[in-house]
Structure formats: structure tokens, C-alpha cells
């Protein structure tokens, strides 16, 4: 029957599109509903992908400016940035990815409906687009509507001078100065983008550390690396207000000594976290319950209070990460199919795409201490790595923590070159419960950045490292 489906995914971000593809592969008739004209959600359009494109471009610029001369490459003072092309290339990367998703939907025979999905009841969803209204009927619905930026009292986002990451990824011209509220993941990534091209950047962070949810040593080391980019970092500082004064923004904050101070910049970018997004979904009509913080409540099967309606990704509890949303998309497709899939929430890696990159999996040292778990640490600095010296990437370290009794790997924390890719090896190891000895006895190609792990595991096992 027309418009009748086995599974309808609402939202086409990494959670929705991955789940839709898996459901189609399992033989179901699937539809995907997306309110915007392009597929891919936050991650593809205004998140992971454009942020990484700008991070890559600016890192090239920064290296050309600061490091080429040491490599013997002389630009004879001829370096300049074409800001319009810089943003245009980023948009091109996004378009390639959104086009790829249209191809994947066709390949998997998934019907795509563009418009705002709104529940009529637990088996019917209305899709409102500009010119029509369509009614979909399904046995199962999956809410994958993601998240939106949040703000703080006294700071009203006007999208002109007081902006979020979305506007920050598509500015019309290069700003001379920018204040970033929040030294979390978005804050430090976008601070890197703009500081590398010589925008004066100030980060104002409420806690006493950058990236405060990660192991503290990572935040400290990142502070030093970002300070080298001339980023001004104000820790233990609480923003009170931001006012658009026309050409500039004036931000007032309470510093760590209790003084009220004021600074101005061309833009104020607000990066204080994101909130679950369910606006317009009309969850009450279906009977789906949400928590006080707006997140859709689910059980271990990711089933909402209504058994035929599931929810995944940023709209439910847990880290707001694209790979977590993807894993949950696959998970619900398989649960609906009667399988018994598994997600190990303790082993979802977290990555920050600064340079050096930051990547971690498992427990932080602070968590182990708080839980009274015994551990032994091995820490190897990249300054002692031959590979890192060759590429002039000697900032950072690998830190592993293992249980002294059995050698179980409890946490791996890396700040260094290509940490985002290197962390995968530790995720595999920890998932299969290898020991620190297993990790140092396997062969590591030389010279690689990953070798730093071997030395760190040797140290954590009570043996001396080879390279320091």
C-alpha cells in the first residue's frame, strides 16, 4: 500500500541514515523523513564534516606560515588566504557527502520525504513540506531528530554577531577577532580554525580546564598547544552577558577572582553544549515521554515509552557523537529484526580534531581515582618519537592506564599527531580484553606515531620503555 512502511526514520543524520540503510539491507520497506533539503543532519551539513574541512585547510595555512621555512620550503613572503575559496571548498566537501547520501538512499530503495515529521498517533506521521502534506503509516518509527545548540542566560543568539558553530562554519569574511564561550570540543576546534588564520581568539571557559570531561592531563597539554597559536584562554570564568553593539559584540564575564570584566570582538561564538531537538514532532500525540532535559527516554533496547517507537543519537542520553548515533542506528534496525546486537558504551572513543589531535577511550584517571580502582600508568612523550621528530609534531603524549593485577587496559588517552586514527587500535584491544602485555608484544611498524603506544604499555606493565 502507498505510504505504508515497515520502518520510518525521522531525521537523516548519522543515526537516521545509517539505521535506514541497515533496515533496508535486512529486507524492510523503509522511509526517511528530513525537514531540510539536504540529507546528513548536523554532522554532514553543519558539524563534523565542514568543521574538519576548515580544520584541514587552516592547518595547511598554519604550516605554510610557521613550518615550511624549517623544511627548506621558502614562500618568499608570498602567503595569503583567499577566505571565499576557503569557505567554498568546505561547502564543496559538504555537497559531495550529501550527494553521496542521496545515492545511498536510491541504492537501498529507501523513500525520502522532505518535510517536518509530526506524529498523529503512534502509527501515523504527518510530513509537512512547503507545498504539501503527506501521511505515512508504519509498524515502527525511529526518532533520530538530533540536537541544536543551547545558550546561557544573558546570551541571546542572534546569528549575526552572537553566533553558534553553524554560522561560525560559514562566515562571510574573515573576522579580526572572536570570543568563544565554552572551551569544550566545539570551542577548541573552532578556536583552532580561526587562530591559525590569525583571527584574535579568546576562549572563556567556566571550569578550570579545557575539554573538562576528558582526562585532565589532556586539557592541560591542549592548553599549552592552543596558547602557542596565540589563543587567549580564560579559565574559571563565567560569562554573564553578550550584547551585539552593531559592528561588534561586547561580552561581560566574572573572572576567577570575582571581578566583572568586559571584552569586545567582531563575533561571539556560543559553544556551551547542545540540547535534544524534538520541536514540532508532536511527541504527546504518540505518547512518547521525555526527561526534564528534553531528551527522549529509552530503555536498553532504545525503545521509548511506546514499544513500536525507538529513539537514537543526540536526542537520547549519552555522548553527542556521530559514531554513537550510527552505532545506535544499526542497533535498532537489528533489534527490530529480532537480533541481539550490542553496543559497549564504555568504549566509545572521543576525539578532538585540534592539532595535536586528542583522542581517548575508557576511564579517565579522575574516574579511576573516584571509583577507588587501582591502576598503573605508562606515559610516553611524542618528543621521544622518531616519527614525530621527522614531522615536527613533538607536542603531546600517550598515556595508558592498566590494572596492576591482570594487566587489563582501563583507559587510553592520547594527545598527539593522528591521535584520532591511532585510538582505533586501543578500542579493538579493550573490546577484546587484551592485556598491556598483549599490546606491547604485537609488532608496530617503525617509524609510526602508534609506536608511542608500545612504549607506554611497556612502562605501564612495569618494564622500562625502549625509547626513553
Q: Residue numbers of the site for ligand FAD (CB under 6 A)?
A: 10-16, 33-36, 41-43, 47-48, 51, 116-117, 144-147, 165, 186, 277, 280-281, 313-315, 320-323, 325, 353
Cell of 227: 596558547
By beta-carbon proximity to ligand FAD, the closer residue of 57 and 165 is 165
Residue 365, contacted partner among ligand NAD, ligand FAD, none, CB below 5-8 A by kind? none
By beta-carbon proximity to ligand FAD, the closer residue of 222 and 321 is 321
Q: How far apart are CB 363 and ligand FAD at their closest, in Å?
A: 20
By beta-carbon proximity to ligand FAD, the closer residue of 34 and 205 is 34
Residue 116, contacted partner among ligand FAD, ligand NAD, none, CB below 5-8 A by kind? ligand FAD
| Preceding omega of 447 cis (within 30 degrees of 0) | yes
Residue 187, contacted partner among ligand FAD, ligand NAD, none, CB below 5-8 A by kind? ligand NAD
Q: How far apart are CB 287 and ligand NAD at their closest, in Å?
A: 28
Residue 416, contacted partner among ligand NAD, ligand FAD, none, CB below 5-8 A by kind? none
Catalytic status, residue 446: yes
Q: How far apart are CB 300 and ligand NAD at their closest, in Å?
A: 22
By beta-carbon proximity to ligand NAD, the closer residue of 222 and 351 is 351
Report d(CA 170, CA 432) in Å as an integer: 42
Residue 271, contacted partner among ligand FAD, ligand NAD, none, CB below 5-8 A by kind? ligand NAD
By beta-carbon proximity to ligand NAD, the closer residue of 387 and 418 is 418
Torsion sign (Cα): 166, 170, 173, 174: positive
By beta-carbon proximity to ligand FAD, the closer residue of 14 and 219 is 14
Catalytic residue among 62, 124, 323, 446: 446
Residue 179, contacted partner among ligand NAD, ligand FAD, none, CB below 5-8 A by kind? none
Q: How far apart are CB 421 and ligand FAD at their closest, in Å?
A: 13
| Preceding omega of 356 cis (within 30 degrees of 0) | yes
Residue 323, contacted partner among ligand NAD, ligand FAD, none, CB below 5-8 A by kind? ligand FAD
Report d(CA 119, CA 184) in Å as an integer: 35
* Unique residue bearing C-alpha cell 536510491: 106
By beta-carbon proximity to ligand FAD, the closer residue of 95 and 467 is 95
Q: How far apart are CB 179 and ligand NAD at their closest, in Å?
A: 10
Q: How far apart are CB 35 and ligand FAD at their closest, in Å?
A: 4
Q: How far apart are CB 130 and ligand NAD at their closest, in Å?
A: 30
Residues near ligand NAD (CB under 6 A) are: 152, 181-187, 189, 204-207, 212, 238-239, 271-274, 319-321, 351-353
Point out the residues that are catalytic: 446
Amino acid at each position: 500500500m502507498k505510504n505504508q512502511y515497515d520502518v520510518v526514520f525521522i531525521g537523516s543524520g548519522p543515526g537516521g541514515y545509517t539505521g535506514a540503510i541497515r533496515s533496508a539491507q535486512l529486507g524492510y520497506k523503509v522511509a526517511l523523513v528530513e525537514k531540510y533539503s539536504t540529507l546528513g543532519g548536523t554532522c554532514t551539513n553543519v558539524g563534523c564534516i565542514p568543521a574538519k574541512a576548515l580544520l584541514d585547510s587552516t592547518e595547511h595555512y598554519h604550516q605554510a606560515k610557521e613550518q615550511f621555512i624549517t623544511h627548506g620550503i621558502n614562500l618568499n613572503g608570498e602567503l595569503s588566504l583567499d577566505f571565499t575559496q576557503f569557505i567554498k571548498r568546505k561547502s564543496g566537501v559538504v555537497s559531495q557527502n550529501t550527494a553521496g547520501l542521496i545515492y545511498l538512499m536510491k541504492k537501498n530503495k529507501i523513500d525520502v520525504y522532505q518535510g517536518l515529521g509530526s506524529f498523529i498517533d503512534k502509527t501515523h506521521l504527518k510530513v509537512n513540506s512547503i507545498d504539501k502534506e503527506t501521511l505515512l503509516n508504519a509498524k515502527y518509527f525511529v526518532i533520530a531528530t538530533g540536537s541544536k545548540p543551547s545558550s546561557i542566560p544573558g546570551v541571546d543568539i542572534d546569528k549575526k554577531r552572537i553566533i553558534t558553530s553553524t554560522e561560525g562554519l560559514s562566515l562571510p569574511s574573515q573576522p579580526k577577532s572572536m570570543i568563544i564561550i565554552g572551551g569544550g570540543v566545539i570551542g577548541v576546534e573552532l578556536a583552532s580554525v580561526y587562530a591559525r588564520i590569525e583571527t584574535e581568539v579568546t576562549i572563556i571557559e567556566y571550569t578550570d580546564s579545557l575539554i573538562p570531561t576528558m582526562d585532565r592531563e589532556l586539557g592541560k597539554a591542549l592548553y599549552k598547544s592552543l596558547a602557542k597559536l596565540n589563543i587567549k584562554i580564560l579559565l574559571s570564568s563565567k560569562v554573564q552577558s553578550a550584547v551585539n553593539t552593531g559592528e561588534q559584540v561586547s561580552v561581560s564575564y566574572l573572572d576567577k577572582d570575582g571581578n566583572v570584566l568586559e571584552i569586545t570582538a567582531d563575533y561571539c561564538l556560543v559553544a556551551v553544549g547542545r540540547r535534544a531537538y524534538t520541536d514540532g514532532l508532536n511527541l504527546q500525540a504518540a505518547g512518547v515521554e521525555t526527561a526534564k532535559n528534553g531528551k527522549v527516554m529509552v530503555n536498553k533496547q532504545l525503545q521509548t515509552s511506546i514499544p513500536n517507537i525507538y529513539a537514537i543519537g543526540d536526542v537520547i542520553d549519552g555522548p553527542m557523537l556521530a559514531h554513537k548515533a550510527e552505532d545506535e542506528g544499526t542497533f535498532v534496525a537489528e533489534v527490530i529484526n529480532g537480533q541481539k546486537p550490542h553496543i559497549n558504551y564504555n568504549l566509545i572513543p572521543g576525539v578532538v580534531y585540534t592539532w595535536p589531535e586528542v583522542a581517548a577511550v575508557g576511564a579517565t584517571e579522575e574516574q579511576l581515582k573516584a571509583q577507588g580502582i587501582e591502576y598503573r600508568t605508562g606515559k610516553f612523550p611524542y618528543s621521544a618519537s622518531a616519527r614525530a621528530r621527522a614531522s615536527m609534531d613533538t607536542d603531546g603524549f600517550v598515556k595508558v592506564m592498566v590494572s596492576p593485577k591482570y594487566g587489563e587496559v582501563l583507559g587510553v588517552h592520547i594527545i598527539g599527531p593522528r591521535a584520532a586514527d591511532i585510538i582505533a587500535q586501543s578500542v579493538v584491544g579493550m573490546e577484546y580484553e587484551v592485556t598491556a602485555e598483549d599490546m606491547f608484544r604485537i609488532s608496530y611498524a617503525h617509524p609510526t606515531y602508534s609506536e608511542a603506544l608500545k612504549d607506554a604499555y611497556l612502562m605501564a606493565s612495569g618494564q622500562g620503555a625502549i625509547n626513553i
